[in-house]
């Protein structure tokens, strides 16, 4: 039986400065489905959704809701038709209450005054329908990020949304918060709410979505039931070619007697307990574990930005005491939150790449800008960073290119140890593939790599050896060749 569409977007065209971004694009939604929208940077998916939500106006084409043609010239037009978008960056005010955020800019009123009691009452009714236990009177900044996501959804539903567009909704959530979100999505689906789900995380697409649409070069290249297409076929449709980057490749490298890194009996508060391991030249070691298992704390302790209660860390036989010591010994850290910890977003590509190398590029009181530009251009070429040039402001680049800039600024220091904390979070599959290949090439040059990733497929593709952590301790040290499937690693992580 053919299920009727609640939404049909047909022959949508959009250009910016005469450059076509969407070319006769199409997109359909069935009532009550969770529909994944995927594609690489520049594929057109964000532009298409901004047209659907009234942020952009289409150049040509048609949008139909429930069989009736509609026109959206501003966000309020889409909102009146029951369409809302939940952006990756929250549109909430931390100092307001939950109820005040839910009804922000459309508060119930008595005359010209806000009816606070009615606002709390309606908020509680929406939260109860969502089966979310949040006090409407609580200040938002007293709640975890997972609850912020729930409040964003409640805010959309307070405007009678029947189509929700979710942009990378799990990017900032813990595993328990992700499970709660997935349960909520299931309840929304059962209530007849239709969801467009944008995510770069392939595993959760297959966990939560009914259908998938892939865009490439401004066009729809594939729409299929998730049950009818493999993850490999989805990746191939996005990249336009077969890729082996997410297939494990057993690497041959010499394992000398002396490791580059020795971690001995390290403890950090209650999060890391008596951790010891070695890491050899050219070896890629993955850290696997649930949120809160101590992965990031171990990485930060090795780098020197987190104080140790006991234990020692040696790089090439020399002790690491603090972060300056760590950098001098050749440790580089690409942090999980690149936007807050890895980059100065309002500065140029060149400024960011030069940041960790400023002393190497200086003579007396003067910085050699010419040498900095040459170095930056070298890494733009080596890492295939897509930018107009070294003076491009970093915040205007895609997530994948931003991540490559963080890599570039550390690679310019010729590190002995590269620590990567969630290196492909929030980047498209094409950029993920490139980053995996870059890491392999670095290891082949003899750089030791420590990788933290919540995506098991990625960890299995890149690692030579995997350490499984639980509650701040290493419970297993597994050679990658001994892990036959992703399920084996999943059970190893969940088995404590």
The DSSP code for 391 is: T
DSSP secondary structure letter of residue 466 = E
Contact 399, 430 (CB under 8 A): no
Element (H, E) at 239: helix 231-239
Predicted TM-score (pTM) of this structure: 0.70
Strands (E) in 397-459, as ranges, are 417-421, 448-452
Q: Return the closest-CA partner of residue 235 out of 430, 29, 37.
A: 430
Q: How many CB atoms lie within 10 A of CB 241?
A: 7
Within 8 A by CB and 6+ apart from 365, the residues are none
The DSSP element (H or E) to which 129 belongs, if any, is helix 116-129
pLDDT in tens, the chain (496 residues): 556 789 999 999 999 888 889 999 999 999 999 999 998 777 888 899 999 999 999 999 999 999 999 999 999 999 999 999 988 778 899 999 999 999 998 999 999 999 999 999 999 999 998 888 899 999 999 998 888 988 999 998 998 899 999 988 887 777 778 888 899 899 999 999 999 999 888 878 999 999 999 998 899 999 999 999 988 788 888 876 555 456 788 887 767 778 999 999 999 988 899 999 999 999 999 999 887 788 999 999 999 888 899 999 999 889 988 888 888 889 999 998 888 888 998 999 999 999 888 877 877 778 888 888 999 999 999 998 988 889 999 988 878 889 899 999 999 998 999 999 988 887 777 778 888 889 999 999 999 999 999 888 889 989 999 999 998 899 999 999 999 888 888 888 876 5
Distance from C-alpha of 317 to C-alpha of 319, rounded to nearest angstrom? 7
Residue 338 DSSP symbol: I
Q: Which helix (H) or strand (E) holds 273?
A: strand 272-279
Rg (CA), the chain: 24
Nearest by Cα to 104 from 50, 49, 169, 154: 154
Q: Tell me if 310 sits within 8 A of 332, measured CB to CB.
A: no
Distance CA 232, CA 161 (A): 34
Q: Are 53 and 86 in contact (CB under 8 A)?
A: no
369-382 and 399-411 helices, crossing angle to 10°: 120
Q: Give residue 244's pLDDT.
A: 47
Contact status, residue 458 vs residue 432, Cβ threshold 8 Å: yes
For residue 266, give the H/E element and its range.
strand 261-268
């Amino acid at each position: 039986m053919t299920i009727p569409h609640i939404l049909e977007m047909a022959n949508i065209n959009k250009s910016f400065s005469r450059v076509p971004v969407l070319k006769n694009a199409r997109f359909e939604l069935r009532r009550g489905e969770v529909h994944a929208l995927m594609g690489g940077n520049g594929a057109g998916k964000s532009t298409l959704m901004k047209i659907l939500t009234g942020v952009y106006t289409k150049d040509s084409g048609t949008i139909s809701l429930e069989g009736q043609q509609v026109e959206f010239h501003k966000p309020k037009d889409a909102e009146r038709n029951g369409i809302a978008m939940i952006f990756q960056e929250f549109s909430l005010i931390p100092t307001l209450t939950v109820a005040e955020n839910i009804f922000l800019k459309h508060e119930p009123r008595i005359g010209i005054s806000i009816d606070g009691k009615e606002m709390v009452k309606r908020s509680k009714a929406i939260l109860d329908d969502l089966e979310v236990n949040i006090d409407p009177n609580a200040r938002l900044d007293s709640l975890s990020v997972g609850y912020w996501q729930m409040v964003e959804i409640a805010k959309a539903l307070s405007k009678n949304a029947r189509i929700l567009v979710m942009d990378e909704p799990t990017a900032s959530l813990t595993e328990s918060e992700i499970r709660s979100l997935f349960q909520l999505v299931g309840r929304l689906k059962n209530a007849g709410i239709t969801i467009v789900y944008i995510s770069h995380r392939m595993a959760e697409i297959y966990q939560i979505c009914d259908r998938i649409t892939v865009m490439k070069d401004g066009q729809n290249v594939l729409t299929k039931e998730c049950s009818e297409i493999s993850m490999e076929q989805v990746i191939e449709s996005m990249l336009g070619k077969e890729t082996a980057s997410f297939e494990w490749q057993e690497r041959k490298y010499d394992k000398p007697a002396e490791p580059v890194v020795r971690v001995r009996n390290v403890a950090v508060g209650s999060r890391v307990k008596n951790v010891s391991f070695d890491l050899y030249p050219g070896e890629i070691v993955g850290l696997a574990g649930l949120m809160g298992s101590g992965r990031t704390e171990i990485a930060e302790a090795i780098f020197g930005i987190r104080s140790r209660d006991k234990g020692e860390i040696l790089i090439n036989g020399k002790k690491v005491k603090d972060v300056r010591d760590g950098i001098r010994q050749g440790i580089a850290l690409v942090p999980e939150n690149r936007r807050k910890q890895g980059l100065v977003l309002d500065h140029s590509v060149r400024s960011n790449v030069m940041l960790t190398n400023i002393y190497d590029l200086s003579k007396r009181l003067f910085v050699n800008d010419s040498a900095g530009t040459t170095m930056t251009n070298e890494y733009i070429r080596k890492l295939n960073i897509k930018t107009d040039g070294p003076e491009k402001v970093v915040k205007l680049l895609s997530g994948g290119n931003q991540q490559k800039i963080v890599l570039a600024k550390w690679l310019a220091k010729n590190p002995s140890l590269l620590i990567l904390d969630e290196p492909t979070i929030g980047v498209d599959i094409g950029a993920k593939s490139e980053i995996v290949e870059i890491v392999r090439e670095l290891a082949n040059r003899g750089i030791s790599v420590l990788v933290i990733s919540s995506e098991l497929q990625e960890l299995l593709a890149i690692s030579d050896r995997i350490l499984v952590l639980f509650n701040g301790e290493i419970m297993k040290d597994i050679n990658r060749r001994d892990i036959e499937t992703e399920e084996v690693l999943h059970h190893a992580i969940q088995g404590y």
